[in-house]
Amino acid sequence: MTALRTQADRRRQTALRLLAAAALTSVLGGCYQTQSARNEFPTDYRDRHPITVREGARTVNVFVGRNRGGLTPSQRADVLAFAQNWRHEANSGIVVEVPHGTGADRAAADTMREIHSIFAASGVPRNAVFVRQYRPAAASLTSIKLNYSKMMAEAGPCGQWPTDMGPSLDRNYFENRPYWNFGCATQRNLASQVDNPADLVQPRGESPAWAARRSVALDKYRKGENPSGTYPSDSNGYDKGKISDLGK
């Protein structure tokens, strides 16, 4: 009976040792994978800092005073630019949040009438504007908030330095690999400067050719004439199509 019990204890100890060894192996394997993943990163800066296209918002705050209604000249320019940009880049209608329950309710109503007139003059349809009220905080400035959804391109964030740039025991240094932040500013600037973020995803469709000009060029080509256009001089005698003589 004692021999059977000793044999069972040995089997139990052997099983516990095997489980401990398996657990230690999995822990060490995880550490190696984490270290390897941290050291390995894409060499191409476009893969390290990709430009992503997402939906954002454009917002303009029109501040309203208690004793003054309507828009100032600078506010008219802001609202006009907002309406023109909406026609060019918006993915939704315009949402207007008007303050309510303050001492500037009458001034806000007068300002809204002028905003609606600017929208109408800019070609914004009335059914594309949704107006709702909100109650501002007691200590905050009263403003009418204009906003709509748009596509935005962005990259980054920049300024991250997970590895050393100078001499170190890091393998990336000895292999002369680019540092992580390299190319991030270029990608971020490109994302902010592109006019239509959809151009980063796919090319635009081709517009129809100008049939009248194409017929003229083909007719001159059949006759053996020069198919290029002519650029007459202006009233001052300068040739608009001539290369500048500056520096000659």
Domain boundaries, the chain: 52-153
Kindly report the average pLDDT of the chain as a whole number.
81
Q: pLDDT tier at 118 (50, 70, 90 boundaries)?
A: very high
Rg of the chain over all Cα atoms, to the nearest angstrom: 34
Spatial strand order in the sheet of 129-134? 52-63, 143-154, 94-99, 129-134
Tell me which CATH code domain 52-153 carries.
3.30.1330.60
Give the amino acid at 234. Answer: D
pLDDT tens-digit map of 166-214: 777 777 777 778 888 999 999 999 999 998 898 888 888 888 888 888 8
pLDDT given at position 15: 62
Q: Which residues pair with 58 in a beta bridge?
A: 148
Distance CA 134, CA 140 (A): 13
First to last CA, the chain: 113
Confidence of residue 28 (pLDDT cuts 50, 70, 90): low
Higher pLDDT, 5 or 106: 106
pLDDT category, 231, cuts 50, 70, 90? low
Cβ(101)–Cβ(137) under 8 Å? no
Query: Cβ distance 162 to 59 under 8 Å?
Result: no
pLDDT attached to residue 242:
61
Query: Cis peptide before 157, with omega less than 30 degrees from 0?
Result: yes
